[in-house]
Amino acid sequence: MAKIFRMPEVAANATHAVLQSWTKREGDSVTQGDCIAEIETDKAMVEVNVDIDGILARVLAKDGQEIAVGAPIAVVVAAGESTDIDALLAGSAVHNTAGVDASTPSGSPAGDSPSNVEATPLRLADEGAAASSDLHPTVRVFASPLAKRIARERGVDLGSVKGSGPNGRIVKRDIGAVVERQQDVSLTPTAPTGGAQPELQKVDFTEIPHTGMRRAIARRLSESKSSVPHFYLSADCRVDKLIGLRSEVNDSATTKVSINDFVVKAVAVALKQIPEMNVTWTDAALRRYSRADISVAVSTDTGLFTPVVRGADSKSLSAISSEIAELATRARAGRLRQEELEGGSFSVSNLGMFGTEEFAAIINPPQSAILAVGAAIARPIIEAGKVEAATVMRCTLSVDHRAIDGALAARWLKLFVQLVENPLSMLI
Same domain, yes or no: 148 and 219: no
Bridge partners, 359 (sequence order): none
pLDDT at 137: 39
Q: What is the pLDDT of residues 182-230, one digit of tens each?
A: 765 555 555 555 555 556 567 788 888 877 777 778 888 898 999 999 9
Using DSSP, state whether 352 is helix, strand or coil. helix
**Using an 8 Å Cβ cutoff, are 243 and 376 in contact?**
yes
Report the phi/psi class of residue 285: left, alpha or beta, with left for phi > 0 and alpha for psi in -120 to 50: beta
Q: Which domain holds residue 15?
A: 3-112
Nearest to 169, CA basis, from 108, 121, 106, 136: 121
Number of domains, the chain: 3
Decide if 95 is inside a domain.
yes
239 and 384 together in one domain? yes
Read off the pTM. Answer: 0.59
> What pLDDT is recorded for position 91?
73
Residues 252 and 375 in one domain: yes
Whether residue 408 lies inside any domain: the answer is yes
Tell me how long the chain is.
428
Do 280 and 413 belong to one domain? Answer: yes
Cis geometry, peptide bond prior to residue 366 (ω within 30 degrees of 0)? yes
Contact (Cβ atoms closer than 8 angstroms) between residue 385 and residue 369:
no
What is the Cα–Cα distance from 64 to 21, expressed in whole angstroms?
A: 7
CB of 3 within 8 A of CB of 48? no
Q: How far apart are CA 365 and CA 363, in angstroms?
A: 6
* Model pLDDT, residue 149: 75
Domain membership of residue 202 (yes or no) is no
Q: Where are the beta strands (DSSP E) in 16-116?
A: 16-22, 29-30, 35-40, 45-49, 54-59, 65-68, 72-77
Distance CA(222)–CA(239), nearest Å, equals 34
List per-residue pLDDT tens for the chain, 428 residues long.
788 888 886 655 567 778 878 989 888 999 888 889 888 765 566 778 888 888 998 999 888 788 888 889 999 988 877 778 888 888 764 444 433 443 334 333 333 333 333 333 333 333 333 333 333 334 456 777 777 778 877 778 877 788 877 667 787 788 878 877 776 555 555 555 555 555 656 778 888 887 777 777 888 889 899 999 999 999 999 999 999 999 999 988 788 899 999 999 999 999 999 999 999 999 999 999 999 999 999 988 777 889 999 999 999 999 999 999 999 998 888 788 878 888 899 999 999 999 999 999 999 988 999 999 999 999 999 988 899 999 999 999 999 999 999 999 999 999 999 999 999 999 87
| 333 and 350 belong to one structural domain | yes
pLDDT (0 to 100) of residue 233? 98
Per-residue pLDDT, 192: 52
Task: Provide the 3-class DSSP secondary structure of residue 418.
Answer: helix
pLDDT of residue 255: 82
Neighbours of 151 (CB within 10 A): 24
Give the DSSP H or E segment for 260: helix 259-273
Do 94 and 145 lie in one domain? The reply is no
Identity of the residue numbered 285: A
Residues with active-site annotation: 401
The reply to whether 196 falls in a domain is no
Residue 283 included in any domain: yes
CATH at 142: 4.10.320.10
DSSP 50: -
User: Distance between CA atoms of 91 and 89, rounded to whole angstroms?
Assistant: 5
Sign of CA dihedral 188, 190, 196, 198: negative
Relative orientation angle of helices 240-252 and 259-273, to the nearest 10 degrees: 110
Amino acid at 100: V
**100 found inside a domain:** yes
State phi, psi for 393 to the nearest 5 degrees: -120, 125
Q: What are the residues whose beta carbons fall under 8 Å from the beta carbon of 278, sequence distance 6 or more?
A: 271, 272, 288, 289, 292, 345, 346
By CB neighbour count within 10 A (0-12 exposed, 13-18 middle, 19+ buried), where does 214 fall? middle
Model confidence over 166-178: pLDDT tens digits? 667 787 788 878 8
SS3 135: coil
Is residue 108 domain-shared with residue 126, that is, in the same domain?
no
Domain assignment of residue 64, yes or no? yes
For residues 290 and 176, membership in a common domain is answered with no
Q: Are residues 99 and 125 in the same domain?
A: no
Same structural domain for residues 257 and 385? yes
State which of 168, 186, 204 marks the end of a domain. Answer: 186
Chosen domain end from 52, 85, 112: 112
Report which residue type is found at 269. Answer: V
Residue 197 lies in a domain: no
Q: CA-CA distances (angstroms) from residue 216 to 42, 136, 273, 399? A: 6, 34, 34, 22
Beta bridge partners of 348: 296, 371
Q: In terms of domains, do 247 and 128 share one?
A: no
Q: Which CATH number belongs to the domain containing residue 47 in this structure?
A: 2.40.50.100
The CATH number covering residue 305 comes to 3.30.559.10
